[in-house]
């Protein structure tokens, strides 16, 4: 909300056509070039507006910038803004407003408040709720194609029912309308979530009139009560609400929750909407606590049988969405797949192949990122070939040859093919290497791998964050871990250690990276006497960078600690970890492979 101060510097950030009018309007406040202070009491229920004509801004979407939403005070969100939204819901029932009118009015009021604070601080005041009522008048004309003067008179009566600090009439309503339109005129024609919800619900196979369809509308209106959700555009918000309705109302397998038709019509993926969904869940949980002032009339509105009494339900234990997915998740295995495999396969077969891949990686100078991608690609190929292509007659190759070929692919062919083939042929003759391989054999295996996982490869190869190591680069910065440091190396050590255990393959790259950073901070940075002593292991910066909560990451961090404990006294180290520990026993890798981890 505007502070009521307008200094000389503020004028530099205003559109040129506003400069003369802004200077003129400041006469009552006695503009001081020295300190920018202005006399006069501050009205917590008011915002500053300008005389028309005002802001020449083309509004393409009714959405607020995230930084503006974050910088607004909690007192304003729950006070002036919360009261305004509560009155809009009350008016919606009293005037029998179409839900699209209600939604457009609330969106226009928020947009007006933002544009005024950005372009025209220190101007003439109008009560925020009065602006909200006026936006109902504007929205009624836009949605219904017109509004009668009788309807306008009812709006005026509602305005006069507010605490008596000013009396309103139709002329005052028209005057405020002109000022609002001078700021958000083009916004009146923008789509809102209320315009999209029916179309998106049908795309998600939620028939009109059914409880899931009504619940999608319920979530859409609930979003109005939480100002923090106004940073999401209409498409994002509507897709999140429809997904939420399916998730809570229908008993579907999780992979079917986000239907392809909804993705097609919205242009948004499951990954895109998850931050919005998580904020929506927080708002839904507040419903039962009545902490949000804007929710009182909303709850009354949704407490009817025709609306399934949705506001009276308990939402404390709602279904938690899975962590956001990324393009690289296309190569991830189903979470339950590693558990279904035998211990023999995990250790003696898969574990041996990964161990040899790590050994040869050290010889060719392959870094964590490339090794991570190669192991993930190998696991994805084996799973897909044995499950989705089990009866297709695809050729079978030795697992070690597949692993070495994946190293060749992940390195973008930077490892010389002749050298890699020679390294493969130096492996002892066994079931893992039943014969001598040629360069043409490696190329043939590469083609087979591409054929099997082709649908997953394109997005992974184009993704900026393809592996846990890619995510770790950003998450380390957010967690206060500097590049090239001993702690940064420990993060990569944990990521490579995780590759040796097949049970870790159930975690997404983002979750694994966040867990590695968390575990590093927990062990080496936040304990008494350490560099970040007193800080939380799962820092706020790490949460913001990853989009995950401590609850999301905790199971993975616990499994990483389990792997460190397995190293123990170093007299019974699992065979699958030997090459990894040797690889990390050099000075340039800070000799992390020589440590004994008894209590991580």
Question: What integer pLDDT is reported at residue 316 of this predicted model?
Answer: 53
323-600, CATH topology level: Cyclin A; domain 1 (1.10.472)
Report the range of poorest mean pLDDT among 251-260, 288-297, 478-487, 508-517.
Answer: 251-260
Output DSSP code: residue 291.
-
Question: What integer pLDDT is reported at residue 224 of this predicted model?
Answer: 93
Report the range of poorest mean pLDDT among 149-153, 224-228, 594-598.
Answer: 594-598
pLDDT in tens, 367-422: 999 999 999 999 988 888 887 666 656 677 899 999 999 999 988 888 999 999 99
Give the CA distances from residue 371 to residues 25, 401, 415, in Å, rounded to whole numbers and listed in that order. 65, 15, 12
The CATH label, of 3.40.120.10, 1.10.472.10, 1.10.3720.10, 2.30.30.100, for the domain at 193-312 is 1.10.472.10
| 508: nearest Cα among 259, 274, 352 | 274
Mean pLDDT in residue range 213-235: 92
Look up the CATH superfamily of 41-189.
Cyclin-like (1.10.472.10)
**Can you read off the two tokens belonging to residue 5?**
């101060």
pLDDT in tens, 434-454: 999 999 999 999 988 888 876
User: What does 81-147 look like in DSSP terms, one character per residue?
Assistant: IHHHHHHHHHHHHHTT--HHHHHHHHHHHHHHHHHHHHH-TT-EEEEHHHHHHHHHHHHHHHHHS--
**Backbone torsions φ then ψ of 110, nearest 5 degrees:** -65, -40
Percent of the chain topping pLDDT 70: 80
Question: What integer pLDDT is reported at residue 475 of this predicted model?
Answer: 93
pLDDT band at residue 587 under the 50/70/90 scheme: very high
What is the reported pTM?
0.51
127: β partners: 46
Rg (CA), the chain: 30
pLDDT in tens, 335-350: 778 888 899 999 999 9
Question: What integer pLDDT is reported at residue 27 of this predicted model?
Answer: 33
User: What are the residue ranges spanned by the domains of the chain?
Assistant: 41-189, 193-312, 323-600
With a cut of 80, say whether residue 472 has pLDDT above it: yes
The DSSP bridge pattern shows strands 124-127 and 46-49 to be antiparallel
**Backbone torsions φ then ψ of 322, nearest 5 degrees:** -70, 160
pLDDT band at residue 479 under the 50/70/90 scheme: very high
pLDDT band at residue 293 under the 50/70/90 scheme: low
Distance CA 459, CA 327 (A): 6
With a cut of 80, say whether residue 1 has pLDDT above it: no
**Can you read off the two tokens belonging to residue 176?**
């405020």
With a cut of 90, say whether residue 145 has pLDDT above it: no
Distance CA 141, CA 159 (A): 18
Which H or E run includes 439?
helix 439-462
Mean pLDDT in residue range 518-544: 92
With a cut of 50, say whether residue 12 has pLDDT above it: no
Question: What integer pLDDT is reported at residue 465 of this predicted model?
Answer: 52
Chain centroid to CA 329: 15
Asked if domains 41-189 and 193-312 share a fold, the reply is yes
């Amino acid at each position: 909300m505007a502070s009521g101060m307008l200094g000389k510097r503020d004028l530099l950030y205003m559109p040129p056509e506003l400069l003369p009018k802004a200077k003129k309007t400041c006469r009552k406040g006695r503009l001081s070039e020295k300190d920018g202070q202005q006399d006069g009491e501050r009205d917590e229920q008011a915002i500053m507006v300008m005389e028309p004509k005002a802001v020449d801004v083309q509004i393409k979407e009714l959405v607020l910038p995230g930084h503006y939403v974050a910088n607004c005070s909690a007192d304003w969100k729950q006070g002036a803004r919360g009261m305004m939204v509560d009155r809009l819901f009350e008016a919606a029932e009293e005037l029998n407003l179409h839900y699209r009118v209600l939604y457009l009015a609330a969106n226009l009021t928020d947009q007006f408040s933002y544009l005024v604070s950005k372009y025209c601080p220190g101007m003439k005041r109008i009560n925020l709720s009065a602006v909200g009522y006026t936006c109902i008048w504007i929205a009624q004309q836009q949605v219904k194609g017109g509004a009668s003067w009788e309807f306008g008179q009812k709006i005026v009566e509602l305005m006069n029912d507010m605490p008596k600090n000013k009396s309103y009439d139709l002329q005052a309503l028209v005057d405020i309308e002109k000022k609002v339109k001078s700021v958000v005129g083009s916004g009146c024609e923008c789509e809102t979530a209320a315009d999209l919800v029916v179309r998106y619900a049908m795309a998600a196979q939620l028939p009109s009139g059914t409880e899931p369809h009504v619940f999608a509308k319920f979530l859409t209106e609930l979003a109005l009560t939480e100002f923090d959700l106004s940073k999401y555009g209409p498409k994002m918000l509507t897709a999140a609400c429809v997904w939420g309705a399916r998730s809570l109302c229908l008993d579907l397998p999780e992979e079917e929750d986000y239907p392809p038709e909804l993705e097609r019509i919205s242009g948004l993926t499951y990954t895109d909407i998850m931050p919005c969904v998580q904020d929506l869940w927080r708002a839904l949980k507040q419903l039962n606590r009545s902490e949000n002032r804007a929710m009182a009339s909303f709850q009354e509105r949704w407490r009817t049988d025709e609306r399934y009494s949705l506001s009276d339900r308990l939402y404390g234990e709602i279904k938690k969405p899975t962590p956001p997915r990324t393009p690289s998740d296309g190569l991830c295995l189903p979470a339950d797949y590693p558990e279904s495999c035998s211990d023999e396969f995990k250790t003696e077969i898969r574990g041996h192949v990964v161990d040899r891949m790590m050994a040869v990686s050290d010889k060719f100078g392959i870094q964590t990122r490339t090794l991570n991608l190669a192991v993930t690609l190998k696991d994805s190929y084996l799973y897909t070939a044995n499950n989705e292509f089990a009866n297709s007659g695809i050729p079978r190759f030795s697992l070690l040859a597949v692993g070495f070929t994946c190293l060749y692919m992940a390195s973008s062919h930077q490892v010389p093919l002749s050298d890699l083939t020679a390294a493969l042929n130096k492996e002892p003759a066994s079931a893992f290497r039943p014969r001598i391989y040629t360069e043409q054999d490696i190329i043939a295996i590469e083609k087979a791998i591409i054929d099997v996982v082709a649908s997953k490869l394109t997005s992974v190869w184009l993704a900026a964050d393809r592996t846990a190591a890619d995510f770790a680069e950003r998450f380390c910065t957010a967690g206060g871990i500097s590049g090239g440091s001993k702690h940064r190396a420990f993060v990569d050590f944990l990521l490579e250690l995780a590759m040796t255990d097949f049970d870790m393959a159930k975690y997404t790259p983002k979750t694994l990276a966040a867990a590695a950073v968390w575990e590093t901070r927990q062990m080496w940075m936040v304990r008494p006497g350490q560099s970040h002593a007193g800080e939380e292991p799962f820092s706020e910066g790490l949460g913001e960078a990853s989009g995950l909560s401590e609850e999301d990451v905790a199971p993975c961090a616990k499994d990483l600690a389990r792997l460190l404990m397995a190293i123990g006294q170093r007299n019974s180290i699992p065979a699958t970890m030997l090459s990894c520990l040797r690889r990390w026993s050099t000075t340039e890798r800070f000799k992390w492979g020589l440590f004994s981890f008894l209590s991580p």
